[in-house]
Amino acid sequence: MNWRTIGTVYSKELKDTLRDRRTLISMIVVPTLFMPGLIFGMGKIATVVVSKAKEEVPRIMVIGGADSPGVRAELAKTGKFRVEPASADWKALISDKKVRAAVEIPEGFEKALDLGSAPKITLYDYQGELKSGFATEQLRDFFTGLRDRATSRLLADRGVPASLAHPFDVDQVNVAPPEKVGGNLLGGIVPYFIIFLCLIGAMYPAMDLTAGEKERGTMETLLCCPAARTDIVLGKFFMVLTGSLFAVMSSLASLAVTLLLVTSSIKSGAKGAAAANLPSIDPLGILGVLAMILPVAVLFSAVLFSVSLFAKSLKEAQSYLTPMTFVVIVPVAIGVLPGIDLNLRLALVPILNISLVCKEMLSGVWHWGYIGVIFGSTALYATAALALCVRMFRSEGVLFRT
Amino acid sequence: MIEARLLTKVFHDRKRGEIRGADQVSFRVEPGRIYGLLGANGAGKTTTLRMLGTLLRPTSGTAIVAGHDVAREPDRVRANIGFLAASTALYARLTAREMIAYFGRLNGMSEHALRARIGVLSQELDMGEFLDRRCDKLSTGMKQKTSIARTIVHDPQVLMFDEPTLGLDVMTARAIVKFVRDCRGRGKTVIYSTHVMSEAEKLCDVIGIIHGGALRAEGTLAELQARTGESDLEECFVKIVAQEASR
């Protein structure tokens, strides 16, 4: 191995890549804008959608209850609902979102309520539909309030203190530090995007430096020089790795800046309590993720490089690499699922192991044994992939494939 | 010097089976001489040159290029050759200077030597005007000059040209032909593959006619004319190829 030659190839590829708009987009622009875009963009959309849904006065329908005028009148008086006249096709109306929810008041409800033995109230909603959910929530609040008031009244009539029906309260207090709460909240989602961006960052340079060179005819020019094939492939490989790591660094840096901006803007807005509840990430966790992502980046870069090298053109390389994103997304997505915990067997499954360990590290859990196994096994897979890369680059059947 | 000894290259194709890209090709080129490899498309010219340039490994046979064996010392062979083909393109996003410098460095040249060499080449090839322009902004002629400079930046003893005028306009093609002739004048060993008869006629000291992967005839223009009884190289070529086909 000649490090001077490797350096020459690497610096040429870096210069070439930095002049290529498409690679810059996949390596820097997308990863940098991805996290802020996701946090601000999705957050903004979610806030707008939810507040709009909450602002709406839901149309509801009361089924039955003709002999309970008091309850009906009280319901209408709240001003929280627009009570529509009852209709036989109320289920279809809920499905068509013309009515958000319906409540069925059984016969003799009001009379039975006065006696303390009212039958069951049934609420109908369209599960999974936000506005229907809010309407049902408000209906439930109304009827819970009605029940509590009736209970208090009945107990008072019998000379029993109302507290008897409500002897104690249950309170919940969080003892986890904010970074652990943040780790748990973001720990699942951050590795997902980091691993994905690690792949995306390597993808375009891998294609451009192999299949792209074959297509443009520069590969043959390069192979005519006396540099050893191993030195050429390593110089190119380091550039692909740079692309991958740069994408990860950019996204982590932009994530950190985004969280800082969000925190400071909320704090300056005198929303101290909200700021205290904001998810924050343990900086050590971020460093841990960076360390673990290194062998993954080598693995991705080597695999993408080998696959692209086999292709004759950029188009062919693209058709090979696109399915690879799914191959990566599936184990990462499994790692994000709640209830999947790291064990020795999963620690050997590539990509899934990284997703799980990153989730743990970001929430402040450090299983050093597993971390060692995962780093070692991923480094081993990465070495094998890199060896394949070098071997393929020496194969004339691959380089001059027709 | 180049000495090809029974160079053979067999490709395996799933549909067509075994293909002999080059079949026991032997010839010798002395320094200060231009050897023309003349053949139709698919005759085996590129395969032969790629074996001589160590881009392909011979299935059997070997070649000695600038004193080194192509199979055993490919890196040393490449350090002593300049390879220019229609398929050896330039890096579009590098400038002409960066392109030449890159290949100079890959050939192990020091920065000092490289600077001096680029200066000389720029003057010889009249590249001063576009030396710092990106290759994708160059005209075909400028690109070809840059390719030539890239090929000879390390001043190799042996030069291999694989259809270098393919697709070029007359003026650019003439410039290439002149450059190849200059190389002979400087004592370089030159192998020139082409299917353009007029180029071979004007340029080559010895012509080898290759067909179906095998060398069918070899000699000076006069020798080939005497052998076929034809005065025109194209007629000589057609006659030799037809004779071989009828065997």
Q: Which two tokens stand for residue A363?
A: 């929430």
Query: Cβ of A323 under 8 Å from any chain B Cβ?
Result: no
Size of interface A-B (CB pairs under 8 A): 65
pLDDT of residue B126: 87
How is the beta sheet containing B17-29 ordered, strand by strand?
B17-29, B2-13, B60-65, B68-69
Task: Indicate whether A265 and A154 sit together in one domain.
Answer: no
Task: Indicate whether A134 and A107 sit together in one domain.
Answer: yes
Query: Cβ of A21 under 8 Å from any chain B Cβ?
Result: no
pLDDT of residue B29: 95
Task: Indicate whether A69 and A137 sit together in one domain.
Answer: yes
Task: Indicate whether A257 and A200 sit together in one domain.
Answer: yes
Helix (H) or strand (E) holding B62: strand B60-65
ipTM above 0.95?
no
Query: Cβ of A353 under 8 Å from any chain B Cβ?
Result: no
Task: Indicate whether A143 and A254 sit together in one domain.
Answer: no
Q: How close is the nearest chain B Cα to the Cα of A229, in Å?
A: 9
**Residue B225: pLDDT above 60?**
yes
Q: Report the alpha-carbon angle A264-A270-A276, nearest 5.
A: 60
Task: Indicate whether A127 and A194 sit together in one domain.
Answer: no
Q: What are B79-133's pLDDT values in tens digits?
A: 999 999 877 789 999 999 999 999 999 999 999 999 999 999 999 888 999 999 9
Hey, is A45 helix, strand or coil? Answer: helix
Please identify which residue in the block is written with the tokens 């090298």: A309
Domains of chain B by residue range:
2-80+158-246, 91-155
Task: Indicate whether A65 and A30 sit together in one domain.
Answer: no
Query: Cβ of B64 under 8 Å from any chain A Cβ?
Result: no
Q: How close is the nearest chain B Cα to the Cα of A296, in Å?
A: 30
Query: Cβ of A396 under 8 Å from any chain B Cβ?
Result: yes
Can you tell me the distance from the alpha carbon of B218 to that of B172, in angstroms, rounded to the nearest whole number? Answer: 29
CB-based burial label for A311 (10 Å; 0-12, 13-18, 19+): buried
Query: Cβ of B176 under 8 Å from any chain A Cβ?
Result: no
Between the alpha carbon of residue B142 and those of residues A137, B136, B155, the distances in Å are 75, 10, 20
CB-based burial label for A283 (10 Å; 0-12, 13-18, 19+): exposed
pLDDT of residue A104: 93
pLDDT of residue A184: 63
CB-based burial label for B12 (10 Å; 0-12, 13-18, 19+): exposed
Task: Indicate whether A161 and A179 sit together in one domain.
Answer: no
Q: CB distance A217–B89 less than 8 Å?
A: yes
* DSSP assignments along A122-182, one per residue: EEE--TT-HHHHHHHHHHHHHHHHHHHHHHHHHHHHTT--GGGGS---------S-HHHHH
Query: Cβ of B71 under 8 Å from any chain A Cβ?
Result: no
User: Does a structural domain hold residue A42?
Assistant: no
Q: Which two tokens stand for residue A116?
A: 């303390």
User: Does a structural domain hold residue A309?
Assistant: yes
Q: CB distance A8–B105 less than 8 Å?
A: yes
pLDDT of residue B192: 94
pLDDT of residue A387: 93
Neighbours of B86 (CB within 10 A): 16
pTM recorded for the entire structure? 0.80
Domain of residue A113, CATH code = 3.40.190
Contact (Cβ atoms closer than 8 angstroms) between residue B158 and residue B81: yes
Can you tell me the distance from the alpha carbon of B70 to that of B22, in angstroms, rounded to the nearest whole number? Answer: 15
Task: Average the pLDDT over each of A37-51, A262-276, B56-70, B196-210 and give the range with the smallest value.
Answer: A262-276
DSSP B95: B
Q: CB distance A400–B56 less than 8 Å?
A: yes
Q: Which two tokens stand for residue A400?
A: 């001059």
Contact (Cβ atoms closer than 8 angstroms) between residue B189 and residue B2: yes
User: Which of A9, A15, A396 lies nearest to residue B56, judging by beta carbons?
Assistant: A396
How far out from the chain centre does Cα A288 lie?
19
Q: What are B145-185's pLDDT values in tens digits?
A: 899 999 999 999 999 998 888 878 888 888 888 889 999 99
Between the alpha carbon of residue A73 and those of residues A69, A141, A335, B139, the distances in Å are 6, 16, 52, 86
User: Which residues on chain B are in Cβ contact (under 8 Å) with A220?
Assistant: 55, 85, 87-89
User: Does a structural domain hold residue A47?
Assistant: no
Neighbours of B119 (CB within 10 A): 12
Q: What are A109-168's pLDDT values in tens digits?
A: 988 888 888 789 999 999 888 899 999 999 999 999 999 888 888 888 888 887 887 788
Neighbours of A127 (CB within 10 A): 7
Can you tell me the distance from the alpha carbon of A31 to that of A239, in angstroms, rounded to the nearest whole number? Answer: 17
**Among A165, A185, A210, which residue terminates a domain?**
A165
Mean pLDDT of B44-53: 93
Per DSSP, what are the bridge partners of residue B217?
A: B209
Q: Which two tokens stand for residue B151?
A: 């090929």
User: Which of B78, B102, B108 lies nearest to residue A224, judging by beta carbons?
Assistant: B78
Contact (Cβ atoms closer than 8 angstroms) between residue B37 and residue B194: yes
pLDDT of residue B206: 95
Report the candidate in A358, A339, A52 with the shortest Cα–Cα distance to residue A188.
A358
pLDDT of residue A179: 59
Task: Indicate whether A107 and A159 sit together in one domain.
Answer: yes
The segments of chain A whose pLDDT lies below 50 read none
Q: Which two tokens stand for residue B84?
A: 């220019």
Q: How many domains does the structure of chain A reveal?
A: 2
Query: Cβ of B174 under 8 Å from any chain A Cβ?
Result: no
Q: Which residue of A has its CA nearest to B90?
A: A218
Q: What is the largest CA-CA distance in chain A?
A: 103
Q: What are A34-89's pLDDT values in tens digits?
A: 777 777 777 788 888 888 888 889 999 999 988 999 989 998 888 899 999 888 89
User: Does a structural domain hold residue A214?
Assistant: yes
**Among A165, A187, A202, which residue terminates a domain?**
A165
Domain limits at A211? 3-37+175-399
Q: CB distance B106–A225 less than 8 Å?
A: yes
Query: Cβ of B87 under 8 Å from any chain A Cβ?
Result: yes
Give percent of chain B above pLDDT 90: 69
Can you tell me the distance from the alpha carbon of B100 to that of B77, in angstroms, rounded to the nearest whole number? Answer: 20
User: Which residues on chain B are in Cβ contact (under 8 Å) with A400?
Assistant: 50, 55-56
Provide the pLDDT confidence category of residue B190 given band limits of 50, 70 and 90. Answer: very high
Hey, is A370 helix, strand or coil? Answer: helix
Report the candidate in B69, B53, B87, B55 with the shortest Cα–Cα distance to residue B158.
B53
Q: Which two tokens stand for residue B36?
A: 């023309």
* DSSP assignments along B151-210, one per residue: HHTT--SEEEEESTTTT--HHHHHHHHHHHHHHHHTT-EEEEEES-HHHHHHH-SEEEEE
At the topology level, CATH places domain B2-80+158-246 in Rossmann fold (3.40.50)
Contact (Cβ atoms closer than 8 angstroms) between residue B158 and residue B188: yes
pLDDT of residue A194: 84
Report the candidate in A224, A197, A195, A219 with the shortest Cα–Cα distance to residue A208.
A219
User: Does a structural domain hold residue A45?
Assistant: no
How is the beta sheet containing B81-85 ordered, strand by strand?
B81-85, B158-162, B189-194, B34-38, B206-211, B214-219
